Chains A and B, each alone.
Chain A
């Protein structure tokens, strides 16, 4: 990858006809360092190139980790470009401002905002390039542009039957200025967007050819294994360093954050040498910590840590509209309510456990730094790598590989920092640092544990009059020393603890940050990973307490959200919601929503004593315009399995000041036999695309516990479910 031809920036600007800035947001030229693959003559900004042979090269500006982002973004461009899809190849990005997500203003792949963020500008890019090709074609054929049409990578003149391939026109077209406001296709003309066809990246993923971060290879490269303290901020010393240095193949042993890197000529030799090190930690921020202390600290936070104000906001009401919640009024409404219901729920720390363990490669040579790896945050990685190496940013190149599962973990950059530290200790060649599975668990940035305490006030008619919820747990922002939004608690802890979508008065959310220093971070669906469980369990409890049908009870509070009603009605139909339940059978429903996306799920279970069998899961999802429906469906069923694992078994343990969950033997993953039939229906309630990647995860945990209650089982208020019930193989 590093031998691609370099582009002269001025030359590129001339070719593009671009002056100081890009005409279309997000499609400016790449910085003049790594090469855009030059398939031929025409380059339309950093992202799109068309070769003389008609081949189309698209650099996907976002990172591909299984969510299908490459396919989706490339389809958006190709749809408007009218090129031959068979001639499109897609490559991975590098860190470059030309690739920023226009919504995030940064180059990162997270927060389910890739398609939503890039959609408008990539449509314009495809359409602007098409317009240039038409103009070049008109010039070549000597006819007005208006007489020309495009299809399958050709500019066609119907009147004369003449046609020119895009490859023939690419050079001339690329010399024309890109139009800022090209005509866009109507949605009714979409052929690629919405097509149910296999993704382009499947073939390399069934033949072993896809290059992941762990596969970065170069002749003469080195591999680093790690010996780490239980916490990255601990002070460390080690014995056995000389012994490790004397092991065969070992080049050096060097300090990295939280421990030591042992750098050798191969993984196994590095591992064997790293095992010679005994790391002693002092001043560890989690010294002596165990499960009981974690639980006690969170419980204590309710009384010891003042509640941070949390305005009643979620994705439906951001930025904040209207007055903040009035705690006194909510308290009065709760007191005055004829009926009250209180419940406390809890969720544990969760690991990301991507199957590709943390890994990253770097090479420091001749005053330049190359970083290659599975990165959700290439731009932040570049800034960080430059700072560590003491280099200007333009001497640091960061390239993204396929990511073997990210789920938020590879959005962080702690592992990039360690890999760069290792590379600086052995300049001259690539050093690939690979965490063991045990280290991947121990050094995770976990989804924090939370406890939520709800109070509901209910009228004589069964309707909600008020609800308050206090949540305690670690703040992700605080651990990373990031400033949250001013004047409110950390949204990743408290947002959507009570859904804004449910239409009832007097809501109050309060957050008590717990004083813990366990590394925490974003875990697929973030806030909703805990708060959908809390909120949708509580609503269900209220509905059952007033003897209402839980789905109908939700419906009655959602009249202002027809798309919520539509997914609930659809999932009711799919699951046969109103049908009779046999004894020991239960159905549970849950709802969640994100940016322009609504998801309802129903879990069907059988309960015999403590033995739980999951019979079926149905899901109705509306993300508006689905660019690649089979991938959206896969994100939903995959998200359900991801959430199912957490609901049933997910729980990270701590003992003696360290993470005690070491490998898959004590962090039970979902396997084939654990997964029942999953039916997913896609609805389209909007012309715009919505959030997909995380949307499938949140509803399954509450749907499951609600189903267990429905089956006559206990109301499970603490996850994982395996601590309460005996989980059997799913129904086949």
Chain B
């Protein structure tokens, strides 16, 4: 039994401790918004926040989570969409949408740490893969969310 804090709640899971956090969220905690894309930390579809930082959850074994606070996409919209989600809809970013949970998590973390990122900073920070090619609208939506 492992205890972890997800979306503000303490949760207990029986998953093997080497299970990547991604699969604990998806299968043990019923939070499938975090997506599996590559399993090697390259695509960013599995991005969550751990203590507020964007982290690729396929690379974090359950045993490494400890007391740190995990936040998933399911928690962002609670009590009203955040400004990144609002901008994502206004700019009509998603196509298939599969990568967008990770994108929204990555951009939310970026703007928290750096409210007015430059293009260079955005390019360095947002390395998630979108196969539909929504990048032009992602850039526009980040600008809108940054105000």
Contacts and interface: CB of A to CB of B under 8 A. Distances in A.
A56 B61 CA distance: 45
B131 A353 contact: yes
A202 B92 contact: yes
Contacts of A641: 132-133, 135-136
A109 B29 CA distance: 33
Given A206-B89, A671-B129, A672-B138, A664 B38 contact: yes
A205 interface: yes
B74 interface: yes
B73 A66 contact: no
A357 interface: yes
Contacts of B123: 672-673, 729, 732
A669 B133 CA distance: 10
B15 A210 contact: no
Contacts of A217: 30, 32
Contacts of B32: 208, 211, 214-215, 217
A663 B89 contact: no
A205 B97 contact: yes
Interface string A428-442: 000000101100000
Interface in A201-254: 201-212, 214-215, 217, 223, 248
Interface stretch (A397-405, A570-578, A605-613): A397-405
Interface-centre pick from B23, B93, B126, B136 (highest chain A CB count, 10 A): B136
A677 B135 CA distance: 10
B101 interface: yes
Given A215-B32, A436-B39, A268 B100 contact: no
Interface in A625-650: 630-631, 634-635, 637-642, 644-645
Interface string B74-112: 101100010001001110111111111100100000000
Contacts of A353: 131
A356 B35 contact: yes
A670 interface: yes
B111 to A, nearest CB: 15
Contact of B16 (A210, A268, A402, A406): A268
Category for how many chain B residues contact A: 35 or more
Contacts of B101: 206, 208
Given A215-B32, A267-B27, A198 B90 contact: yes
B63 interface: no
Contact of A638 (B28, B36, B134): B134
Contacts of A403: 96
Given A355-B99, A669-B129, A207 B77 contact: yes
Contact of A207 (B18, B30, B33, B128): B33
A563 interface: no
Given A207-B33, A208-B34, A630-B92, A354 B27 contact: no
Interface-centre pick from B85, B101, B119, B135 (highest chain A CB count, 10 A): B135
A670 B127 CA distance: 10
Interface in A175-210: 198-199, 201-210
B89 A198 contact: yes
B135 A198 contact: no
A677 B136 contact: yes
B100 to A, nearest CB: 5
B122 interface: yes
A447 interface: no
A202 B127 contact: no
B72 interface: yes
Contacts of B45: 355
A293 B27 CA distance: 44
A269 B110 CA distance: 34
Interface in B6-63: 15-16, 18-20, 23, 26-28, 30-40, 42-43, 45
Nearest to B19: A268
Contacts of A198: 89-90, 92
A437 B134 contact: no
A630 B134 CA distance: 12
A579 B19 CA distance: 58
A268 B15 contact: yes
A670 B133 contact: yes
A66 B39 contact: no
B104 to A, nearest CB: 6
B40 A663 contact: yes
Contact of B23 (A66, A215, A266): A266
Contacts of A201: 94, 97
Contact of B15 (A266, A664, A673): A266
Contacts of B77: 206-208
A642 B20 contact: no
B16 A269 contact: yes
Nearest to A617: B136
Contacts of B74: 207-209
A670 B92 CA distance: 20
A64 to B, nearest CB: 8
Nearest to B45: A355
Contacts of A199: 92
B70 interface: no
Contacts of B40: 437, 663-665
Interface string A48-71: 000000000000000001111000
A13 interface: no
B100 A205 contact: yes
A404 B15 contact: no
Given A207-B81, A437-B37, A642-B133, A402 B96 contact: yes
Nearest to A732: B119
Contacts of A692: none
A214 B35 contact: yes
A215 B94 CA distance: 18
B135 A670 contact: yes
Contacts of A355: 35, 37, 43, 45, 96, 98-99, 129-131
B146 to A, nearest CB: 15
Contacts of A711: none
B127 A212 contact: no
A404 B129 contact: no
Contacts of B119: 732
Contact of A675 (B96, B127, B135): B135
Contacts of A223: 27
A665 B42 contact: yes
A298 to B, nearest CB: 27
A393 interface: no
Contacts of B81: 203, 206-207
A638 B132 CA distance: 5
Interface of B: 15-16, 18-20, 23, 26-28, 30-40, 42-43, 45, 72-74, 76-77, 81, 85, 88-90, 92-101, 104, 119-120, 122-123, 126-139
28 contacts: A198-B90, A201-B94, A205-B97, A206-B93, A206-B100, A208-B101, A214-B36, A217-B30, A355-B99, A355-B130, A356-B37, A357-B37, A402-B96, A403-B96, A404-B96, A405-B131, A407-B131, A434-B36, A437-B40, A634-B95, A634-B134, A641-B135, A642-B131, A642-B132, A669-B43, A672-B127, A672-B128, A672-B138
Given A641-B133, A672-B127, 18 more contacts: A66-B132, A201-B94, A202-B94, A206-B88, A208-B74, A212-B35, A212-B98, A214-B36, A217-B32, A223-B27, A266-B19, A267-B27, A355-B37, A637-B133, A642-B131, A669-B43, A671-B128, A671-B135
Would you list the 7 A-B pairs with minimal beta carbon distance, nearest first? A208-B33, A641-B133, A66-B96, A205-B97, A404-B98, A66-B95, A208-B73
